[in-house]
Amino acid sequence: MAEGLPGWVLIGAASDIVERGAGMRFPVRERYGRQDAQLTGFVVRFEGQLYAYLNQCAHVATELDWIPGQFFESSGLYLMCATHGAIYLPENGTCTGGPCRGARLRQIDIREHQGSVYWLPDDVLAAPNPPDH
């Protein structure tokens, strides 16, 4: 947990998240009945703001990135799913083209604090379990 931000979980350095460029993945644990699913979230920067989503396409439950951390298509205006090409508005996760038009990515609360980026777990998305020793 983040010092000074109780309940928030560190993702990484804000300076590593590039405007309309390289984003950052982070591990999340989706609570799913009695079972948990180990998934990822991602954060991108668009027009100076950070936005974070669960890394699951609204079309088929698969990760969006082309290569790890790359979510924008070539214009830098949209996020694009690598599987079938759905495009999403970076600022709200709405699919505006492709097979899931009108659906949305699941947004994750995010905060920039003293040069680092943090996300906030909720009733469904939790921090990953610490590794076994």
Which of 124, 113, 119 shows the shortest CA–CA distance to 23?
Answer: 119
Binding status of residue 54 toward ligand FES by CB under 6 A? no
CB atoms near residue 91 (< 10 Å): 12
What does 63-88 look like in DSSP terms, one character per residue? ---SSTT--B-TTSSSEE-TTT--EE
- CA geometry: angle at 109 spanning 59 and 88, to 5°? 30
- Answer for which of 27, 99, 121, 128 binds ligand FES (CB under 6 A) is 99
The answer to whether the CB of 32 falls within 8 A of the CB of 50 is: no
Binding status of residue 93 toward ligand FES by CB under 6 A? no
Smallest distance from ligand FES to CB 112, Å: 28
**Identity of the residue numbered 6:** P
Binding mask 6-45 for ligand FES (x = CB under 6 A): ----------------------------------------
The region of 9-17, 42-50, 52-60, 102-110 touching ligand FES under the rule CB under 6 A is 52-60
Question: Which residues lie near ligand FES (CB under 6 A)?
Answer: 57, 59-60, 62, 81, 83-86, 98-99
